[in-house]
Amino acid sequence: MEATSLTEDPFFNNEEQDYVEESESVNFTVSQRQLKDPIHDLIELSPRLCQFIDTKQFQRLRDIKQLGTTQYVWPAASHSRFEHCIGVAHLARKLVENLQRSQPELNITDRDIELVEVAGLCHDLGHGPWSHVWDGQFIPSVKPDSTWTHEQGSEMMLDYLIQENGIDISLEDVNFIKDLIAGEKRRCSPGEKSFLFEIVANKRNGLDVDKFDYIQRDSHLLGDPTKINVNRILQSARVIEDQICYHIKDLPQIKEIYRTRFKLHELYYNHKTAKIIEYMILDALKAVNEHLKIADKIHSKEAFCSLTDNIMHEIKISKEPELKRAQAIFRRIEKRDLYKVVEWKLVKYQYRAAVERAITASRIVEAAKAAYSPDVSPQIDITKLKDDDVIVEFTTLHHGMKERNPLDFVKFYSKMNPNKCRNAQPGDYSTVMPTTFAEVLMRVYTKESKYHYIVQAGYRSVLESFRQAQSPPTSAEAAQIATPPATEAPTSPRTTSFYNPSDNASPPDANTNKRTNSMVTSFSANEFTTVTPNYGLATPHGVGRSPGRQRTTSARKRDVQGLRDRSTSPSDGRGKSAGSGAVALLSLPAKDLSALGADGNPPVKKRKVDDAEPGLLEPVILDKGSSDGAHATGSESIIGG
């Protein structure tokens, strides 16, 4: 049977071919469709919303991770800004429709619902690679004078999306959407309903659909799902006094939102490994910026549209020699050869300014070099330790309103008085509450593991100087204190005050007249992070073991013979041999001790040292006639009795 060509087939005539060719450049109106979401189940996507979704500007969000580097610790938390934005749009429509049904007197129009939904959909269009790594760290580090934010990027990308895809929308509506994303009236008509600006970005108390979605979505994909009933909260919402309020019986749910926010930041978003990889990616981006000029792309809508997490892959496969340093950093991430946490400490929020002035990378490096001893770390070339090798990080962990109780900014109503609202008072809800609502997480990192011990020693030296400084002054004395500039080391650390009248911290009660215990505690070393001098060193004996100076057999024999000679020297009258025999003995490897079996040697008690090689014994020299270690002499590393 003779085959029929496609052009001869009646289903593929010339007229039909013309239709297919034209359809490639025509954006046809789509019908209503549904999306299956793991958090909100079926989400209805209107034809109008799909006009925004089916664009390269919005589809770009598929390649930007919602939680940045957190997926390196929790692999399932690899969701993107794409699904988060669709979830926010869904909740935004749901909330406004509920208000429209329950309070018709608000005169909420279909236009209001549509534009609030679009604002929820487009609120994260301006995020760069790895989300907040880009706008929160990279841009400020390479453009310190720039005030650019991802919200500004969202406005730029929204304009680009509308213009390139020919979406029919008025300038007034575009300005309204932008102000809804910002959470405040700036360019829209003054007549727009004020409560609508609390839906996508609530500047009053942080209760918005953006938070409702990411708390549920992130918790679920991190493997720690929350029990918060967001649907109940949305149904509880009511507009009173031109702001969104909630039923008093739903206060526990509201409180749980704030508590969960704190937990997510404490346990997940600021996990040490995720933060370390953030800093490594940051260094890689900074290394390529001079060559690729990627930071300048924030001012070009076309260039920014192509900027996603995929930049890592593009750098990896590049043959350009200018990208070698960044490629080396990315290889370290793949091999899990990461920067190291040297120290961490939680500090009271009101002391943040004082801590930041006290602990800086330059001071740590300066102190490390001053305290360095080649006898302790002979493998380290201390002259190569630079300020850039140390990272000092301060992160504020809070419940949403910094040091304030966020519930103080939420108004509630009751079933008996649905049109009257007020703040909840103590006794209206559980009195089992945090005593403080914010704290500062301080971490010190080193980029090279070989510097771990030295950087820690430098940090603790700086810390000790400030810990011993005078306590904050009384109110009368505060005005007389001259605080050194943050860029200058104080000439006398022991007399430098932590307190600065410009800080948020209140001076202590004048009647106490004593050092504040909490301040002293904040500036004490973290014993859980203490390491030994050989920590992080790669040696023939294995990582973390100090090789010391290799000594020949003949040299060890000479040491043994010398000890025998000294051990038979005249006694000092206290039962010990004169000279340095006991001290020298402590420095000998355990295998040399077997040669000291002749009569007249000091009694030796052998004990294992925790951080030594398996089987390595370190001796403790005892006084004549002593049977315990109460009078043991030697270094502090020897275990006492």
Distance from C-alpha of 462 to C-alpha of 370, rounded to nearest angstrom = 11
- Cβ proximity of 95 and 237 under 8 Å: yes
Distance from C-alpha of 383 to C-alpha of 367, rounded to nearest angstrom = 13
What letter would DSSP give residue 137?
I
Give the 3-state secondary structure of residue 240: strand
Neighbours of 622 (CB within 10 A): 22
Which of 150, 247, 399, 452 is the catalytic position?
150
Burial class from Cβ neighbours inside 10 Å (0-12, 13-18, 19+) for residue 261 reads buried
Distance from C-alpha of 456 to C-alpha of 365, rounded to nearest angstrom = 10
Active site residue 150: yes
Q: To which H or E segment does residue 467 belong?
A: helix 452-467
- Cβ proximity of 166 and 205 under 8 Å: no
- Cβ proximity of 248 and 420 under 8 Å: no
Hey, which residues does 36 pair with through a beta bridge?
42
Q: Give the dihedral of Cα atoms 393, 444, 402, 507; nearest 10 deg.
A: -110
- Cβ proximity of 186 and 155 under 8 Å: no
Residues in the chain: 641
Angle, helix 110-122 to helix 81-102, in steps of 10 degrees: 160
Tell me, what amino acid is at 363?
R
- Cβ proximity of 471 and 515 under 8 Å: yes
Distance from C-alpha of 445 to C-alpha of 393, rounded to nearest angstrom = 8
Q: To which H or E segment does residue 444 belong?
A: strand 438-446
Q: Where are the alpha helices (DSSP H) in 24-122?
A: 47-53, 56-59, 81-102, 110-122
The closest of 178, 168, 126 to 300, measured between CA atoms, is 126
Distance from C-alpha of 640 to C-alpha of 297, rounded to nearest angstrom = 62
Q: Which residues contact 634 (CB under 8 A, 6 or more apart)?
A: 583, 586, 620, 621
Structure tokens at 104: 């018709």
What letter would DSSP give residue 591?
G
Angle, helix 110-122 to helix 150-164, in steps of 10 degrees: 120
Catalytic positions are 150
